[in-house]
Amino acid sequence: MEKVVTVILILSLCLMPVQIQAKSVTSGTDDNGNKWTYNTSTKTLTFTGNKAISDFAMNGHDREPSWYRWSDKTEHIVIEEGITGIGSEAFSSFTETKSITMGESVKRINRMAFWANVSLKEIKLSSNITVIQGDALSGGRELETIKLPMRLRKMCSLSGQEKLEKIVMPDSITNMQSAMFSECKKLKYIKLPAKIREIKSYDFAGCKKLKKLTIPESVKTVSMSAFAGSGLKKIVLPENVTTIKNGDTGRKVFQYIKGIGYPTKNLRVIKIHSKKVKSIQKNSFSGLSSKVVVKVPKSKKKKYTKMLRKSGLSKKVKIVAIEKEARKYEK
């Protein structure tokens, strides 16, 4: 018994210096030679250098970045002038981070760079960023505002940002991600880019406070699941739409059963202004309430009625003609 106690005591003494040393490490470098420092008093993690912060993959094989030891302590992240980009998963799951600021030298943010930063309230982006890759900012809950750079060409999903109320997307963006704003429950205003060509699956799903949305004339393809569970009273599909998809293969887009899908309670009108619709995918309009009215161009009523019914639109949902087909129609 005495031998066992002695062995345990020796092992404990051997491990103690290692633990103390690990906690005392407050600086280091990434794989690209950039320096990081952590201020324990202000809980601020700062990066300096002249290259992009290195990528990381949380796959169980790659070595965890040295600054990750502070991932559950860091409240502020500062990317100093000189750093040119932010690597994949560089600050993923930094659960206590409240603010992020970066220098104007940053031009790119890679995938999942700030994923699941659940406490993030404020982020100041470089005005020179052109690419923010998929899920770089998704998985958060506290972000209230974000100003997107005017040069931005590619934008990640903001899915799950429950406190975000307003977003203005620059016209430099020509392609949106799927589920772009899904579950942004307090989102009231979205200005979409003028040149996007597609509304994708679940883009606005679960946006309960969203009452109005203007879809740009450039849009040619619309996935109806984009609107499931939103607060929209009216959906207007513009005059260049050629393809209507369900965006959710295998189920009725507007159907809600026991926690599956999104309840769409406010929707009353769907206007199809386009005379160019060539295909309507099965289930695109399935599950709509009988309170909804679908309005179509008068000259296309017979053709569109047949397409809509074939796609699964209930006979309880009325299809009526738009009597006045003005060039500049009401949104």
131-132, strands of its sheet edge to edge: 85-86, 108-109, 131-132
* Within a domain: 12: no
Average pLDDT over residues 88-106: 97
The pLDDT of residue 133: 95
Q: Indicate the residue among 156, 186, 213 that finishes a domain.
A: 156
The pLDDT of residue 75: 98
**Res 159 pLDDT > 50:** yes
* Within a domain: 2: no
Shared-domain flag, residues 141 and 248: no
Q: How far, in Å, CA of 162 to CA of 310, rounded?
A: 37
DSSP state of 151: T
Q: How far, in Å, CA of 215 to CA of 238, rounded?
A: 7
**Res 132 pLDDT > 80:** yes
Instruction: Give me the phi and psi of 7, to 5 degrees please.
Output: -60, -45
Shared-domain flag, residues 81 and 212: no
**Res 119 pLDDT > 90:** yes
**Res 10 pLDDT > 50:** no
* Within a domain: 252: yes
Average pLDDT over residues 245-260: 77
Shared-domain flag, residues 31 and 94: yes
Confidence class for position 110, pLDDT limits 50, 70, 90: very high
* Within a domain: 181: no
* Within a domain: 126: yes
Residue range of the domain that includes 140: 23-156
Shared-domain flag, residues 229 and 138: no
Shared-domain flag, residues 292 and 224: yes
User: At CA 145, angle to CA 103 and CA 46, rounded to 5?
Assistant: 30
**Lookup result for tokens 């619709």:** 277
* CATH (domain of 87): 3.80.10
The pLDDT of residue 4: 42
**Lookup result for tokens 């307090």:** 186
pLDDT tens readout for residues 77-89? 999 999 999 999 9
The pLDDT of residue 13: 43
Record the pTM: 0.85
The pLDDT of residue 59: 73
Q: Indicate the residue among 136, 156, 176 that finishes a domain.
A: 156
* Within a domain: 129: yes
Tokens at 24, concatenated: 């005392």
Domain count, the chain: 2
**Res 140 pLDDT > 80:** yes
**Res 326 pLDDT > 70:** no
Tokens at 168, concatenated: 């203005």
* Within a domain: 329: yes
- E strand or H helix at 271: strand 269-272
Confidence class for position 325, pLDDT limits 50, 70, 90: low
Confidence class for position 6, pLDDT limits 50, 70, 90: very low
How distant is the alpha carbon of residue 1 from its chain centre?
Answer: 59
Shared-domain flag, residues 41 and 132: yes
The pLDDT of residue 259: 67
* Within a domain: 277: yes
Average pLDDT over residues 241-270: 84
Whole-number average pLDDT of the chain = 90
**Res 107 pLDDT > 70:** yes
Average pLDDT over residues 323-328: 59
Tokens at 327, concatenated: 């060039």
Shared-domain flag, residues 127 and 243: no
pLDDT tens readout for residues 164-177? 999 999 999 999 99
Number of other CB atoms surrounding residue 321 within 10 Å: 15
Q: Indicate the residue among 156, 178, 211 that finishes a domain.
A: 156
One DSSP character per residue, 22-68 reads HHH--EEE-TTS-EEEEETTTTEEEEESSSPPPP---SSSSPPPGGG
**Res 63 pLDDT > 90:** no
B/e letters for 100-114, b = 16+ CB within 10 Å, e = fewer, are bebbebbbbbbbbbb
| Cross-strand bridge partners of residue 280 | 244
Instruction: Give me the phi and psi of 223, to 5 degrees please.
Output: -95, 120
- E strand or H helix at 13: helix 2-24
Shared-domain flag, residues 131 and 247: no
pLDDT tens readout for residues 284-324? 999 999 999 999 999 999 999 999 999 999 999 999 999 87
